[in-house]
Structure 1
Amino acid sequence: MTSDQNELPELNDVSHADDHNWPLRRALRISAIALVIIGIGSLAVWGWAKDTEGIWGALLGLAIGGAFMLITVVVTLMTSNSSPATTMAVVLGSWLAKIAVVLVILLSIKNLDFYDPMALACTVVISLIVLLAAETWSVTKAQSVYV
């Protein structure tokens, strides 16, 4: 064997095959990294465009969009050792609770002027789309055993 062949990874790596939480932990890690990248970009763009109001809007958007997506992965990880029915009930309940909390937050800051609403909206939408794509990609690309 040449040295090039020794550097290649094993074709059928099954090191995580028996860990059913690994794809979710991978999704959480990749999504958190994506959220940091979105945060840096959004804070730079909106800070340049709208000064302090843009920074506050981007921070609120990151908090709302990031928490909304990452809480689902955390709740799924927390209930992964229970029955599928329990996991789905808890995930659905947490989703409904997240909707209620987001509505309360948005209604409570609606008339405040310390943030830029466009920065908030754009950052939330970008966060939701990118984190959904990151979670989907990381779970579908994770090698798992199909039974």
Structure 2
Amino acid sequence: MPARKQDCMKKKDGIEQIAECSYNRLAIMDAVSMLSGKWKIPVLCALMQHGSLCFLDIVRHVHGISAKTLTKELREMASNQLLTRTVLNTRPVTVEYALTDYGRTLDKAVFELLAWGLVHRKRLIGKDTLGEKSAYSYISEMQQDWPVNRQ
């Protein structure tokens, strides 16, 4: 049995240790579930990179997403309090989407996934697409230009 699994199975305080491991797994599964699917992270990244966007701008920035799918993803993200939906008093009506303060807290997780993905891609294909830069210095430079980090 792997060491980590054994740790979960030890009866430090009876059943409490097992419950703690289960609770931690549930928290991770909640996070993964909230970000799962093909489109949530690209939509989040578009809003992190560009700030508030109207519906059609999101469609332009997230290549390949259909309007129907984007509508579904935006509703789910709004129900999870990651973004706000503001109807502007224009003709025709314009709807603008922006990350909430809570949604902005995902920036560290997204950048960590990016860093890991860059290292993993290099490992798999054996080619460094960043040249002399490390994944973290590349991300650090990129982060400075994103509106999510200027608020």
TM-score normalised by length of structure 1: 0.31
Structure scoring higher RCO (CA < 8 A, sep ≥ 6) equals 1
More strand by share: 2
